[in-house]
A and B are shown apart, each in its own frame.
Chain A
């Protein structure tokens, strides 16, 4: 049964008579009509004397109408009257709303953003320095270092990533060889495909793709794991117990990430070459021909350069993942933000470092 609101004219005043049951459902129905009546601009009397059931929603309706100059006749019954009083008691503890602080001028915001960026850069540098010092300290006392933990991380980041690397490496080798075969065929130069695919995989694509896999699989996991530990105050507990979070948490992960990356890059390169060989076989070139091409054109330094690059990529990704986790804020959203920052930061660092290596190798004539 819908509840109704009676509006009664009394001289110059308008008396709103509320129904006996004024609960949230009734209040939701009566909200608009009541406020429409109240907006007429006449003197208002809120007559709630016959209200017998009043809940918080009903009390909110009465309270929202009760402005200066409005007369409220409270419920006659004890229950609803105390409900209304309790509702008001809660509201009475509200402070006056604060005026919103005006937005600072653009110059000030620019300055603050620049300072923030500089501070962030400084913090990253400090984190790097702390990690290096932690590494030196661990070298001085190798018995204290968590070897078992490092092995676990090597397994998580390395062996468990092999299937993915093998799958992606093979596919990339197949795709590269197949795509390049189309233009090469026009010049009858298909025999050079092994050289093209082999060099691009060993120098560039192998380390790069392995880095993307590490950032997505492991960097994000580091950030989420350490971020959750931070939220649960486990990191604080460690440092209070006298265990350096850097040596205890970061170094095993950092070492694992640095060590697995060359291996993952090699796996990518090898499986990529295998994929390429498959396509070459399809084009009518048997393995001896492919192998002699590779031997003729690829050198160990191609391989070594790629592997060295991969180790640096791994260290950067591990460091960025750990930092993102350890600097996470509080709350569940912070962990998600840390994981995102780890993946995005890791991939950006990967590409930047790759650019640096390209310039360096070019200058050195490698």
Chain B
């Protein structure tokens, strides 16, 4: 395992016009860890994720993913970096006109020269891993929201990425499926050294899989806590962090 971090963000700020979403955000994601981005609704978690995958450009600061700086990366360099990351979107973002298997085959087709039979096998294996083996031929419109989410994860994993970005993977899933997903993430992280960056609210999931986390806050416009989620739960003195982990409403006048 190399010492170079999987992701390094330095002094990242995001502004929309005069409105500052967050600023001065710095953190590192180490290789092979499950890194969780926490925070209440509207604090910019999903925006931060879009910055990390290069869809948005930060207003200030730098973001390095696998040693490459996103802004300014173009052509072949960008393509080869894209091949090394996988993204699961909040609602799956499957193409409606393609079956689940064809959706999972898309990145394989785009980035490798594997023959059709191999692509089909890859798709079937990945769908099997997320428990959708018997749904490979269905269209996204024919399955439930949770199934779409799992198919989105299968598509994100299709190329064995070094970093997997997951936006709310367990929201809308039943506890059993959600726990199975956590287990899959953990085993991938431990066995293949895949790095996970997960945006989630699910307390059980955060505590079960998170090696480290950062917590964003809307009022503070930045990171208010960083570290092992279990230690944050037990030791943090920050009122917002405490309220979050104890599932309590925020006391009046705090934050």
Which residues of A are interface residues toward B (Cβ below 8 A)? 24-25, 27-29, 31-32, 55-57, 59-61, 63-64, 79, 82-83, 86-95, 329-334
Contact = CB atoms under 8 A, between A and B. Distances in A.
B112 A24 contact: yes
In the A-B complex, list the 8 residue pairs whose CB atoms are closest, starting with the nearest. Answer: A90-B128, A90-B125, A93-B133, A331-B96, A28-B113, A93-B128, A331-B141, A330-B141
Interface string B112-128: 11110110011011111
A89 B114 contact: no
Contacts of B140: 331
A24 B139 CA distance: 27
A90 B115 contact: no
Nearest to A330: B141
A56 B113 contact: no
A60 B191 contact: no
Contacts of B118: 27-28, 31, 57, 60-61, 64
B20 to A, nearest CB: 31
Interface residues of B, number: 31
Nearest to B97: A333
B96 A31 contact: no
B192 interface: yes
Nearest to B121: A60
Given A60-B118, A60-B121, A93-B131, A24 B159 contact: yes
A56 B134 contact: no
B125 A57 contact: no
The B contact surface, by secondary structure, is helix
A275 to B, nearest CB: 45
Contacts of B128: 89-94
B211 interface: no
The A contact surface, by secondary structure, is helix
6 contacts: A24-B111, A27-B118, A28-B115, A91-B124, A94-B136, A95-B133
Given A31-B115, A60-B122, A90-B129, 13 more contacts: A24-B114, A24-B159, A27-B114, A28-B114, A29-B113, A57-B118, A59-B125, A79-B191, A82-B192, A94-B133, A94-B134, A331-B97, A333-B96
Interface of B: 96-97, 108, 111-115, 117-118, 121-122, 124-129, 131, 133-134, 136, 139-141, 158-160, 187, 191-192
Nearest to B157: A56
A77 to B, nearest CB: 12
Given A56-B125, A90-B129, A91-B128, A25 B134 contact: no
A64 B122 contact: no
Contacts, number: 95
A334 B141 CA distance: 10
Contacts of B129: 86, 89-90, 93
B103 to A, nearest CB: 13
A57 B158 CA distance: 9
Contacts of A24: 108, 111-112, 114, 159
A182 to B, nearest CB: 50
Nearest to A28: B113
Given A83-B192, A91-B121, A94-B124, A60 B114 contact: yes
B182 to A, nearest CB: 16
A58 to B, nearest CB: 10
Nearest to A29: B113
A175 to B, nearest CB: 41
Contacts of A90: 124-129, 133
A63 B114 CA distance: 14
Contact of A28 (B96, B112, B139): B112
B166 to A, nearest CB: 18
Contacts of B97: 331-333
A61 B122 CA distance: 10
B125 A87 contact: yes
A315 to B, nearest CB: 32
Q: Which of B117, B128, B158 has the most CB of A within 10 A?
A: B128
Contacts of B191: 79, 82-83, 86
Contacts of A79: 191-192
Contacts of A63: 121, 125
Contacts of B127: 90
Contacts of A27: 114, 118
Contact of A331 (B111, B134, B139, B159): B139
Contacts of A61: 118
Contacts of B131: 93
Contacts of B192: 79, 82-83
Contact of B141 (A56, A94, A329): A329
B115 A56 contact: no
Contacts of A333: 96-97
